[in-house]
Amino acid sequence: MADLEIKDLTVQVEDKVILKGANLAINKGEIHALMGPNGSGKSTLANVLMGNPFYQVVKGEVLYKGEDLLAMSPDERARKGLFIAFQYPVSIPGVTMSSFLRTAVSARRGYEKELIPVGEFQKLLKNKMAELKIEPAIVTRYVNEGFSGGEKKRAEILQMAMLEPEIAIMDETDSGLDIDSVKVVSDGINRMYEHSDRRMGILVITHYSRILHFIQPSYVHVMFDGRFVVSGGPELAEELEQTGYEGIKSQFEVIAAEVASEGAVRRAGKVFWVVH
């Protein structure tokens, strides 16, 4: 059984069905990329995995290390090592990054009544900020308050580094970043991956293949309209870069029709495609 196993996940917001039976398995140590056009359900998947109450799961299940993830509260999921770097992190006025980080790290490390000792925390924070090339002044500011787009993304990565998750989901962490920032953020993620002795599982959700030049995924998945439609290796991302989603979509429709009549697995051109 995979460490994170998503089975037939169907999700709606109010009356609109957004995920229409998604299936995916991620193991620790694996880097997956999830691509797809706007509105295909990528962010919904990320939010549902973290337990955002805005979304209602109507069908399916998610097992995290064999446990029923959907039965856990968001904080419980986080304490058990799941992490999401949000696409649009909200601001928390009046709460400094450093007090927030200290509370979060304490929770993740199982401190119940008290917080992680301040000296130990400061040392950890200092090291992580240096590794990620983050301006120390950011931790004296209020959480995401008045942050630029790039600062928000870097702050998410800092949180990820501090919490040392087992499985991390990066929800369009690259969008809105210039190429230098994408490189810095990617270097940070790669370093965390190495730092975990390649034991961290990562799901990189992205609209563009740009970030995948810096973070090398072993698996690439494409979503259309609430379903995983194709999965493959890194070359699938390249293919997408060439043809665009429209190109994939037209090929997918042809293959889907063939699969419907012939069977589950197809090879199309250079790309090995699995139809879910």
Partner 1 sequence: MATTNPLGINVEKYKYGFFEPEKYVFKARRGLNAAVVNEISHMKSEPDWMRAFRLHAYEHYTQRPMPKWGADLGTIDFDNIFYYIKPTEKRADSWDDLPPEIKRTYDRLGIPEAERKFLAGVGAQYESESVYHNLKDEWEKLGVIFLDTDSALKQHPDIVREYFGTVVPPEDNKLAALNSAVWSGGSFVYIPAGVRVDIPLQAYFRINAQNAGQFERTLIICEPGSYVHYVEGCTAPIYTSDSLHSAVVEIIVKEGARCRYTTIQNWSTNVYNLVTKRAVAYRDATMEWIDGNLGSKLTMKYPSVYMVEPGAKAEILSVAFAGKGQHQDPGGKVIHAAPHTQSVVVSKSISKDGGRAGYRGLVKIYDGAKGSRSAVRCDALILDDRSRSDTYPTMEIDEEDVSITHEATVSKVSDEQLFYLMSRGVKEDEAMNMIVRGFVEPIVKELPLEYAVELNRLIALEMEGSVG
**Nearest approach, Cβ of 17 to partner 1 (angstroms)?**
21
- Work out whether 98 is an interface residue with partner 1 (CB under 8 A): no
- Work out whether 50 is an interface residue with partner 1 (CB under 8 A): yes
Residue from 1, 90, 137, 264 touching partner 1 (CB under 8 A): that is 90
Which residue number, 85 or 275, has a Cβ lying nearer to partner 1? 85
For the chain, give the longest Cα–Cα distance. Answer: 64
- Work out whether 208 is an interface residue with partner 1 (CB under 8 A): no
- Work out whether 114 is an interface residue with partner 1 (CB under 8 A): no
Which residue number, 95 or 268, has a Cβ lying nearer to partner 1? 95
* Dihedral sign for Cα atoms in the order 155, 156, 157, 162: positive
- Work out whether 120 is an interface residue with partner 1 (CB under 8 A): no
Q: How far is CA 50 from the centre of its chain?
A: 10
- Work out whether 12 is an interface residue with partner 1 (CB under 8 A): no
The token pair at 232 is 């493959």
- For residue 165, report the phi and psi dihedrals to the nearest 5 degrees: -75, 165
DSSP characters over 65-134: TTEEGGGS-HHHHHHTTEEEE-SSPPPEEEEEHHHHHHHHHHHHTT--SSPPPHHHHHHHHHHHHHHTT-
The token pair at 103 is 């509370």
The residue among 85, 79, 78 whose CA lies nearest residue 157 is 85
The residue among 184, 176, 178, 177 whose CA lies nearest residue 215 is 184
- Work out whether 70 is an interface residue with partner 1 (CB under 8 A): no
Per-residue mark of binding to partner 1, 133-172 (x: CB under 8 A): ---------x----------------x---x---------
Which residue number, 109 or 266, has a Cβ lying nearer to partner 1? 109
Residue from 32, 77, 152, 153 touching partner 1 (CB under 8 A): that is 77
Binding residues for partner 1, rule: CB under 8 A, are 50-54, 73-75, 77-79, 83-84, 86, 89-90, 92-95, 99-100, 103-104, 107-108, 142, 159, 163
